[in-house]
Amino acid sequence: MQSKIGGGGLPPAFSLFPSLNKTFTFHQILVLIITFLAYASFHASRKPPSIVKSVLGHSVNEQSNSPIDNRWAPFKGWAPFNGTEGTQRLGELDLAFLSSYALGMYFAGHLGDRIDLRLFLVFGMMGSGILTVVFGLGYWMNVHLLGFYMTIQIVCGLFQSIGWPCVVSVVANWCGKEKRGLIMGVWNSHTSVGNIVGSVVASSVLDSGWGWSFALPGGLVIVSGLVVRIISDLNLATII
């Protein structure tokens, strides 16, 4: 029994090696798992900025006896995000990321149609992970330059924009119209799973310093990228 995939026929590997048709369902499931992992990790790395905002822009009430206020007393926020313009600065970071992300989606979609999706997806994951870690390095390097954090967010937004066009293209190539609604409904939960994982990981190490809230999720994306690359290389059917 042959399966129809988005009107484009079977992937090249199955045309060259007809015997692989017996494991088509297995490869479909593997593709869904890999792309789920990839995009969940993308979303996990987006959560740190929202988790650490309360620390970066924290304003301590010196007359307060509340243990919650005094908990961050040694830090008193993090320049340039503390003070009267702290909220505005944090908003500018979000604007920079979202603007570059939206712009990057257009170009990432075109590039994804022309180059190896495996390499492009892993490239986006590695770049996102590294830049997330670099943002966290600002804590240990004692960086207080707005331009440093703004530049990282802009470039990171471009790398993050690679994820969605790649995973959607891969899933569309492997999953035909049959049960597409069910498959997409279950598979698309990667956004919520990634947000949950990112929030839990980032908040769990916040007491150790806000830099860790970026370093761990960033490392998670890098490891996930390596896993995606290794699995796709080991699979003889070239699943992505």
Q: Residues 117, 96, 130, 199: is their CA dihedral positive or negative? A: negative
Specify the pLDDT at position 59. 53
Question: How does pLDDT run across 156-201, given as a tens digit for each residue?
Answer: 999 999 999 999 988 888 877 777 777 888 898 999 999 999 999 9
- For residue 15, pLDDT beyond 70: no
User: Percentage of the chain surpassing pLDDT 70?
Assistant: 80
Q: How far apart are CA 66 and CA 217, in angstroms?
A: 31
The secondary structure of residue 98, as a DSSP letter, is H
What average pLDDT does this structure show over 22-29?
Answer: 76
Helices (H), 45-145: 48-56, 67-71, 86-112, 117-140
Asked if residue 203 belongs to a domain, the reply is: yes
Confidence at residue 235, expressed as pLDDT on a 0 to 100 scale: 58
**DSSP 8-state secondary structure symbol assigned to residue 21:** G
Burial class (CB in 10 A: 0-12, 13-18, 19+), 67: exposed
- Average pLDDT, rounded, for the chain: 83
Residue 7 pLDDT: 44
Tell whether 204 is covered by a domain.
yes
- The whole-number pLDDT of residue 61 equals 46
Domain residues for the domain of 122 are 100-240
Domain count, the chain: 1
The verdict on residue 211 lying in a domain is: yes
- Segment 110-131 shows an average pLDDT of 92
User: Which residue has 């969940």 as its token pair?
Assistant: 40
Query: Pick from 30, 38, 16, 1: which is nearest to 225 by CA?
Result: 38
Neighbours of 140 (CB within 10 A): 11
Mean per-residue pLDDT for 79-85?
A: 86
Q: Does residue 11 have a cis peptide bond before it, meaning omega lies within 30 degrees of 0?
A: no
189 belongs to a structural domain? yes
Average pLDDT in the 31-51 region?
94
Tokens of 221: 């994306």
In a domain, 4, yes or no: no
Cα dihedral 43, 44, 47, 48 in deg (nearest 10): -140
pLDDT value, residue 231: 84
- In this structure, is residue 70 part of a structural domain? no
> Please, which pLDDT band fits residue 204 given cuts at 50, 70 and 90?
very high
CATH number for the domain that contains residue 214: 1.20.1250.20
Model pTM?
Answer: 0.80
Residue 24 in any domain: the answer is: no
Q: Token pair of 13, please?
A: 């590997």
pLDDT digits (tens, 9 = 90+) for 33-42: 999 999 999 9
Residue 119 covered by a domain = yes
Q: What would the two tokens of residue 53 be?
A: 């905002």
